[in-house]
Amino acid sequence: MHYTTFGRRTGLRVSEYALGTGNFGTGWGAGAEPDESRRMFDRFAEAGGTFLDTADGYQFGESEELVGKFVAADRDHFVLATKFTNGATPQPDISRTGNSRKNMVASLEASLKRLGTDYIDLYWVHFPDDLTPMEEILRGLDDLVRSGKILHAALSNFPAWRVSRAATLADLKNWAPVTGIQIEYSLVERTADRELLPMAESLGLGAALWSPLGGGLLTGKYRRSTEGRLTDLKAVIHTESTEQKTAVVDTVLAIAEETGATPAQVSVAWLRERAVQASTSFIPIIGPRNLTQLDDYVGALDVQLTSKQFARLSDVSAIPLGVPHEATAGVRDAVQGGDANRVLPPATPVA
């Protein structure tokens, strides 16, 4: 396992994988029992993993409780990230959900108790609530950083325009900076290439990338069976609903055959190579449901794609970038003096 800082705006050292713990517990009616969760945690730690990602809503709080027990023996070794917005109870409550300062503070105190710790390394706003102004969110997070209860703050599943505005506001007002984003990203979900990931690279934000296997689609298992997450978890999943997705899965399976790796390992190996090429840290969040799946992810650390294999996967999964990107690409030669190939771009994308 390699390590990096979480973006260019922190010195927070994290492992190249984050262990997503949404499957730790069975509060949702599906997931891993405590003993299996413990085995996954131990295996991740043995492989060198330090970055743990949970949320108050995962398994209605059970995930946080289990993670807290697992890290208790060496809390400071691990980078502990959790989230708030959704609440931790099966029945949403008007006063215990959303991103208001009231719910932010109450949610953090409850998470600290479940996790058995007095600080959170990275605190995520899980989702926009379409009600709370960004100024209130940022000032609330700044207060929590100044109190020492959280060390860093970040935004999950927010659109790029809101993240970039938040980062600018925080800088102008000398509040705790926005340090990262968390978004879905995989070979079958690359829309973040349009705005979110270029923004993260330019602003130096860390990017935690969830669902790296497209909800299991990239393993090829749905061609053999409908069992698993496709049927028993109400989560974001993908099916072969387009010709492109079918072509992506075909390519993943073909390269798995060529390399002797599993399709999951090929898919994560592509994502790891994509991260190497970024100018800030891109961290896949792996979300295994059992030890076998975790071992598959760990095995991907040893898979090295050739440049041609990486290009095949990149090309087959590429999406149209749309407006204004395609228009600006058409005039790039003109605006860069007639031949853009003769102009060396800056190492960090221009904001």
Helix (H, G, I), strand (E, B) or coil at 202: helix
Q: How far apart are the first and last CA of the chain?
A: 31
- Tokens 């208790």 sit at which residue? 72
Strands 51-53 and 79-84: parallel
Q: Choose among 295, 232, 220: nearest CA to 31.
A: 232
Decide if 58 is catalytic: yes
- Tokens 């209860």 sit at which residue? 149
Helix (H, G, I), strand (E, B) or coil at 329: helix
Q: CA-to-CA distance for 32 and 20, rounded, in angstroms?
A: 12
Q: CA-to-CA distance for 62 and 32, rounded, in angstroms?
A: 11
- Ordered DSSP codes for 258-298: HHS--HHHHHHHHHHHHHHHSSS-EEEEE--SSHHHHHHHH
Q: In what helix (H) or strand (E) does residue 73 lie, and over which residues does it extend?
A: none
Among the listed residues 58, 185, 222, 297, the single catalytic one is 58
Q: Choose among 249, 184, 257: nearest CA to 217.
A: 249
- Ordered DSSP codes for 204-255: T-EEEEE-TTGGGGGGTGGGT---SHHHH--S----S-SHHHHHHHHHHHHH
Helix (H, G, I), strand (E, B) or coil at 100: coil
- Tokens 């690409």 sit at which residue? 329
Helical pair 101-115 and 62-71, crossing angle rounded to 10 deg: 50
| Enzyme catalytic residues | 58
